[in-house]
């Protein structure tokens, strides 16, 4: 058995928790479905990876109720077929930050993100609108202008690395000037961590420069 990477700054948290009680529709359905926050520790045999996924030309297409509904459906569909758990997540108007835990022996995150992007794109085009203006390359490929083709990924190394990236995810709306305080941004797993006692409600006002200056592909 590999060494365990602890997650606890404050009292021990339950291993799996469902139902976040948030007012944000995307995260209500995300956590009330098959998605669980993995909060009790990580086996070194599993893959724990931080991601940044950005929309095409940074178009703010993720800020509507309809887009969040389509994203939720795509996310749940892929998670049911290719399981993963979520350690932290923040949905912003034009990008997503998250940390996933992938099953032992199945670290194919590219397949999962490819499917999430594909299903979201189909749903978005069918239900909402055409997306961005396609360049010549995308027209040749028959590719919609919804997502950047690539994404940022970083394999979590240890507990300190996990804490930094979790803090970065939750502080991100403040970093981008979307809110003044972390707690004001509803589309984030921050609220669930507050409820479980990991963060204080007012966390974020004294975030260190190491987190503020991190560059994570956005």
pLDDT in tens, 49-97: 999 999 988 889 898 899 999 999 999 999 999 999 999 999 999 999 9
Give 87-146 as a DSSP string. Answer: EEEEE-SSEEEEEEEEPTT---HHHHHHHHHHHHHHHHHHHT---S---HHHHHHT--SS
Number of domains composing the chain: 1
Domain with 121, as residue range(s), is 22-202
CATH number at residue 77: 3.30.70.1290
Please choose, from the candidates 145, 89, 83, the residue with its C-alpha nearest in 3D space to the C-alpha of residue 109.
83
Q: How confident is the model at residue 45 (pLDDT cuts 50, 70, 90)?
A: low
Q: How confident is the model at residue 218 (pLDDT cuts 50, 70, 90)?
A: confident
Phi, psi of 147 (to 5 degrees): -120, 150
Please, what is the angle between helix 109-127 and helix 65-81, to 10°?
Answer: 140
Summarised one tens digit per residue, pLDDT across range 107-126 is 899 999 999 999 999 998 88
Helices (H), the chain: 25-32, 65-81, 109-127, 136-141, 159-175, 190-195, 209-212
The Cα 93–Cα 177 span in angstroms is 12
Instruction: Give how far Cα 194 sits from Cα of 11, 20, 87, 197, 202, Å.
Output: 12, 10, 14, 5, 9
In a domain, 209, yes or no: no
Count CB atoms within 10 A of the CB of residue 62. 21
Residue with tokens 């083709």: 149
Half-sphere exposure of 12 (CA within 13 A, CB side): 4
In a domain, 212, yes or no: no
In a domain, 65, yes or no: yes
DSSP 8-state symbol, 193: H
Of 41-50, 65-74, 103-112, 197-206, the least confident: 41-50
The Cα 153–Cα 56 span in angstroms is 17
- Name the range with the highest mean pLDDT among 27-41, 127-141, 148-162, 172-186: 172-186
Kindly report the pTM of this predicted structure.
Answer: 0.76
In a domain, 161, yes or no: yes
Residue 174: beta bridge partners? none
Task: Provide the terminal-to-terminal Cα distance of the chain, rounded to the nearest Å.
Answer: 36
């Amino acid at each position: 058995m590999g060494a365990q990477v602890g997650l606890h700054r404050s009292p021990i948290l339950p291993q799996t928790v469902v139902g976040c009680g948030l007012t944000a529709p995307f995260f209500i359905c995300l956590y009330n479905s098959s998605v669980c926050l993995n909060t009790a520790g990580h086996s070194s045999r599993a893959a724990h990876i931080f991601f940044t996924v950005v929309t095409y030309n940074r178009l703010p297409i993720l800020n509507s109720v309809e887009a969040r509904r389509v994203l939720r459906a795509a996310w749940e569909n892929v998670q049911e077929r290719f399981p993963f758990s979520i350690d932290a997540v923040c949905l912003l108007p034009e990008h997503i930050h998250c940390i996933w835990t992938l099953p032992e022996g199945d670290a194919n995150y590219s397949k999962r993100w490819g499917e999430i992007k594909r299903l979201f794109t189909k749903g978005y085009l069918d239900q909402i609108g055409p997306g961005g203006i396609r360049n010549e390359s995308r027209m040749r490929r028959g590719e919609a202008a919804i997502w950047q083709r690539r994404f940022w990924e970083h394999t979590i190394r240890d507990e300190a690395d996990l804490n930094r990236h979790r803090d970065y995810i939750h502080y991100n709306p403040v970093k981008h000037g979307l809110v003044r305080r972390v707690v004001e941004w509803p589309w984030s797993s921050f609220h669930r961590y507050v409820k479980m006692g990991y963060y204080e409600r007012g966390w974020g006002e004294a975030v260190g420069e190491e987190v503020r200056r991190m560059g994570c592909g956005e």
